[in-house]
Amino acid sequence: MFGKLLPRETSFFDFFDQHAAITVEGTKEFLSMATTGANVVAKARRIKEIEHEADTITHHCIEALRKTFITPLERDDIYRLITRMDDIMDFVEAAAERIALYKLKEMTPEVKDLADVLVRATEEVEKAVRGLRELKNTDQVRKTCRDINRLENEADSILRNAVARLFDEEQDTKLIIKWKEIYESLESATDRCEDVANIIEGVILERA
């Protein structure tokens, strides 16, 4: 299953690109779940599969890092970048698993909004990561990183308003706890997108 995702030779940029692409797929699958509320168990299962695929890419990248003497970026930057990217899908999978586990059928406007922001953020992460390979247009990569930071701020605002609305309007304490946990997982995923952007900006500064 994972063979087609892995590079034939040690190219850390290939690992980054493939991880970013599979993460976008995972966030889009979550957005579909959050939008329709249909086939939740099947969608959560598919998201878990995607998270495992992302894990596999991460493990191969770290193993390659262990075995490679000369690397295109600082070793610490490679490690931090791939692990922060992996964290994004971990949080998405955690949110999907809880929706399925808690048997939540009616999706809230806020979970849809957070999912939408997350798709856009991971698409920008994919662009930024692609720009790392040659860094011919650092201004564009920096702009993409700023866009990721803006989207993280948007997600943070949605989270604050979502939690406030839960406590104001929801009478079921268990539902408050469940949705708050899901919202926070999604916002944490956007935090990791911002971490990736910050690492990439740091790489650009190192190469300047």
Cα gap 128→80, rounded to integer Å? 15
In the chain, where the domains are located: 3-207
How many CB atoms are located within 10 Å of the residue 128 CB? 26
**Architecture category of domain 3-207 in CATH:** Up-down Bundle (1.20)
Q: Which residues contact 190 (CB under 8 A, 6 or more apart)?
A: 114, 117, 118, 121, 151, 152, 155, 156
Please tell me the pTM assigned to this model: 0.92
Phi/psi at 170 (5° precision): -85, 130
List per-residue pLDDT tens for the chain, 208 residues long.
444 444 444 589 999 999 999 999 999 999 999 998 889 999 999 999 999 999 999 999 999 999 988 888 999 999 999 999 999 999 999 999 999 999 998 999 999 999 999 999 999 999 999 999 887 889 999 999 999 999 999 999 999 999 999 999 999 999 999 999 999 999 999 999 999 999 999 999 887 6
Kind plus residue range of the DSSP H or E element containing 24: helix 12-36
